[in-house]
Chains A and B, each alone.
Chain A
Amino acid sequence: MPDPTDDVLGTLGEYFPPAIARAVLRSTLRRGGLDEERVRDSEISEFVAALERTLPMYIVDPGRRGECIGKVRRLMTTEPPPALPSPRPRPSRDTPRVPPASGGFGRVEPTASGFTERLVGGIIRIRTARDIVQACDLAREVARKLGFSLLDQTKIATAASELARNILLYVGDGEVRIGVIEGPKRGIQIAAVDSGAGIPDVGLVMNSGYRSRTGMGMGLKGTKRLMDELEIDSRPGTGTTVVTRKLLS
């Protein structure tokens, strides 16, 4: 029985560097409440559903995102349905293991040229005020390792703090994901994800005149000024994803 995990990784690999693709896979499996190591044949539809929820954090452009989900879905439907319940696949020795998402960075990965230290962000679950401090510290650390100036490190750490605080104040539970943008220009991406009530009118919140009782508008608008880009995807009932990025100049 072919295991779809590698095919999924291959597809995700068209959109992300390998380490990030594995992180996306793992985070999707976890969020979908599935086996954390592999995509199982019997759980294909759950996986696609989970991917639709996870991917907005990583691919902001809706067109590209839809294309990626479409590819994964097609991959799945061409797989023959399992005739017999297959035993749970064990992770093979050559499968790179992605460390727990909450881990920091400085992860050592074998590459063709030997061992290199890769910069990897992390995922911080936000449930208490102390988690905000953690998100803030991790953002600063990743920014520092990327080579951002002290001022930019401060701006980035502050942005992470604002986003984490919005989660705590308005939803009470969510995640802050800090990742490295690879490419001709490197950068940092901070995504705040929750499954709360959502923001009914994003335009209003980002409007310059708006100020909520608790100052949330200020937080998001302020965050936008600190970073290069900020996008909000929010629908009432499904939660809010705020993705913000800053590139090295």
Chain B
Amino acid sequence: MQDARIPIIGLYDDLIVPIQGAIADDVMVTLQNDVTRRIQDGNARGLVVDVSGVETLDSYMTRNLRDLALSARLMGVTAVVSGLRPAVAITLIEMGLEIPGVHTALNLERALELLHAIRQEEARAVGEPGDDDA
């Protein structure tokens, strides 16, 4: 568990971050640095943080997750949190926690579809060819 680092997978224009199990705080801080650096260095347009492997999210971890997504958004990258387990989702609601300002999706596949749709919408708005033409 020492030196645990969460991998960041590049998939075309998107970055995918699969989070598994319990995340210690320092790992989360490293992740936030890694993700923002990858965004700055590359040409990422979307970020999916998949939490389907996460069994527990407390208020602090939820805030870290939100900060990760919001820092990506500030850098012009659309962020989606996917795969929130039902028990985790209900627990967050019960605690009065939300992830405001962040897109969510049922699973990784839906998250990628959502990013695609958002991109098309944006392309239409500025009159550029969307992903369909790529």
Give a binary string over B74-92; 1 marks a CB under 8 Å from any A CB, 0 the rest: 0000000000011110110
**Complex contact B56–A130 (CB within 8 A):** no
Inter-chain CA distance A169–B58, complex, in Å, is 14
| Of B1, B26, B57, the contact of A158 (CB 8 Å cutoff) | B57
**Complex contact B88–A221 (CB within 8 A):** no
B→A interface (CB under 8 Å) = 1, 22, 24-26, 55-61, 63, 85-88, 90-91, 94-97
> What 5 A-B pairs are tightest by C-beta distance, nearest first?
A222-B95, A154-B87, A161-B58, A129-B25, A133-B22
**Complex contact B60–A158 (CB within 8 A):** no
Chain A residue nearest in CB terms to B56:
A157
Residues on B with C-beta less than 8 A from A136 are 22, 56, 58
Residues on B with C-beta less than 8 A from A223 are 95
| Of A140, A215, A225, the contact of B56 (CB 8 Å cutoff) | A140
Q: A130-B24, A157-B55 are in contact. Are A225 and B95 (CB under 8 A)?
A: yes
Residues on A with C-beta less than 8 A from B61 are 161
Chain B residue nearest in CB terms to A131:
B24
**Complex contact B63–A215 (CB within 8 A):** yes
Inter-chain CA distance A105–B90, complex, in Å, is 28
Chain B residue nearest in CB terms to A157:
B56
**Complex contact A154–B22 (CB within 8 A):** no
